[in-house]
A and B are shown apart, each in its own frame.
Chain A
Amino acid sequence: GEQVEQLPSSLIVQEGASVLINCSYTDSASVYFPWYKQEPGKRLQFIIDIRSNMERKQNQRLTLLFDKKTKHLSLHITATQPGDSAIYFCSASNDYAQGLTFGLGTRVSVFP
């Protein structure tokens, strides 16, 4: 089945800096890649997604890049704020099975 790997597992940045989270997957049949954010003590929340027919998607301070050839995604967060401190999850799904396969998450800590 699909396997999703995220790197790094954790990172610490100062407020205002940028963050880059890398994600790779194994199943070439995966076509949809949503990302979720889990703030401390809160539920997972959808933040951005991309489909396999796209290369780039931006939502305010979030930019998601997708490389179908290398099966690689990267999430770039600019101008970080303390409120960006959370665990970020990459996930993948295909057209024939229900549910998402999640990576282990990247814990981002933003200090003022």
Chain B
Amino acid sequence: EAAVTQSPRSKVAVTGGKVTLSCHQTNNHDYMYWYRQDTGHGLRLIHYSYVADSTEKGDIPDGYKASRPSQENFSLILELASLSQTAVYFCASSGQGTQNTLYFGAGTRLSVL
């Protein structure tokens, strides 16, 4: 059974609209991450969190917010979706420390029109 679950699996949004991507993990991991995958850019880190009620900026945080209401849940919020945010978004979780395996969700394909 998948330990990192993302919803929705795909979404079409309108430019300027609000989008919320959700992630739920049952790994009992402290760390959770949001990455985006684009052709030609690989995976890039948007936000991460190491404890509930706290989030940290990754490499490309502009235009995104994150929320970690509990250890299990981590959301990515696009307040004003733009065409450039069309991508596949992956959530992942890991244990403590910087040298831990990441466990990924299945991804959310977001198309902003």
Which A residues form the contact surface with B (CB < 8 A)? 1, 4, 31-32, 34, 36, 42-46, 49, 51, 89, 93-105
Nearest-Cβ distance from residue B64 to partner chain A, whole angstroms:
14
Q: A32-B98, A43-B107, A93-B99 are in contact. Are A98 and B43 (CB under 8 A)?
A: no
Determine if A98 and B42 form an interchain contact, defined as CB atoms under 8 angstroms apart. Answer: no
A94 and B4 alpha carbons, distance in the complex (Å): 24
Q: A31-B99, A43-B104, A44-B104 are in contact. Are A99 and B33 (CB under 8 A)?
A: yes
Interface size class of B (residues with CB under 8 A): 20 to 34
A55 and B31 alpha carbons, distance in the complex (Å): 28
A89 and B44 alpha carbons, distance in the complex (Å): 12
At the interface, yes or no: B89 with Cβ under 8 Å from chain A?
no
B98 contact from A42, A44, A95, A102, Cβ within 8 A = A95
Determine if B43 and A96 form an interchain contact, defined as CB atoms under 8 angstroms apart. Answer: no
